[in-house]
Amino acid sequence: MKSPQKHREDGDPADYWLLIFSAIGSVVVVYLLFFTRTNFRFDGKVVGVLKTDAEVRRRHERSLGWEEIGRDENLFRKDIVYTPKDTSAFIEFGDHRKIQLEPDSMIQLDDVTREQIQITLFSGKVKGDVQIKAKSEWESRVQALLGKAHKPNPLREVVNVPIRLDRLEDFDIKLEKPTDEIYNLHANRWLPMRWSPLPVTGEVEYQLDVAKDPQFSTFLTYKTKHNELSVQFDDPGTYYWRVRAAREHEYRFSNLGKFKMSAKGGIGNRVVASLPSSLPEGFTAELSTSANFNPLVFTRVVSTAKCPEDGLAAGVYFCRVTSVQGDKPAKKYRFVVK
């Protein structure tokens, strides 16, 4: 009769080796994911450019390793960007839109369209001057892997963060009217000139410049707080115009516009009987170093019957001032700048 075998209480050595290899593998994976660099480049769509003074980390969703990137690095769709502690970064999207990543933040660039920037926010905070659709899937993915039910977190649900643009450089001034066409001089003696307003807070002053040459060597200037001004034209020819917006120490310039005034033919203004709602005010000031006013130093529209003296070099000058609306005679005088 065989004696019963003694039960072995010691563990199988193979189990110990399996446990050791599993621990080593976990350490290697964590090291690859968070502490190694990679030269991986995703040859996809460039959606933005990184702007930062310190190095941040980036990896694509199909890459295991992280790499440190610096200023003016291209970012691609599905890139994951991480800003370490005490480091912030901006991402510019090429159409005057940008977002700011605060320190210790991680996002993934899901998609970028004209309507919105769609990202996945893993951690940290994001600030932007456009509407950002941010959603966190990090917790839901981890919970799914652990086989646990996902408990909604109100701080990490899908949110829309509307941010109001309030800088002049965030908008373009579009010249709307007149367009590059020929206008009848007699039918459009007072020609309405209109441009797109800048939807920002605070008081914005617009300066309309009109000249007969694209270099604006000599031009008339009109100032208004509205986005439309009617200007009187007496001579046929080609005219060039531009608009400058100013708010405190901010400035924004439009592109150059062009149109023609013709004594015969051209577009006629059907609403000729009604006066324009915004007529130019002030005086036309002409400055010259010659008594016969040839050549002119400048021609400007001013609020008082006096030539501006700011910025003039020392010398003798002659000033001629007339009312913009032509209801006051010309005033001439001579002055000296020392």
pLDDT tens for the chain, residues 1 to 338: 444 444 444 556 777 788 888 888 777 766 665 555 444 444 467 778 888 777 788 887 777 677 888 777 888 888 888 888 888 888 888 777 788 888 888 888 877 777 777 788 777 788 775 555 544 455 545 444 444 444 445 444 445 555 567 788 888 999 999 999 999 988 888 899 999 998 888 899 999 999 999 999 888 899 998 899 888 888 899 999 999 999 988 889 999 999 999 988 888 754 443 444 445 567 788 888 888 888 888 877 787 888 888 878 888 999 988 877 655 667 889 999 88
Instruction: Judge whether 238 and 180 are in contact, CB under 8 Å.
Output: no
**Which residue type does 267 have?**
I
pLDDT at residue number 147:
45
Fold of 168-262: Immunoglobulin-like (2.60.40)
User: What torsion, rounded to 10 degrees, do the Cα atoms 145, 147, 152, 155 define?
Assistant: -30
Closest CA to 313 of 283, 284, 287, 294: 287
Q: Where in the chain is the domain with CATH 2.60.40.10?
A: 168-262
d(CA 145, CA 138): 11
What's this model's pTM, rounded to 2 decimal places?
Answer: 0.37
Instruction: Judge whether 105 and 72 are in contact, CB under 8 Å.
Output: no
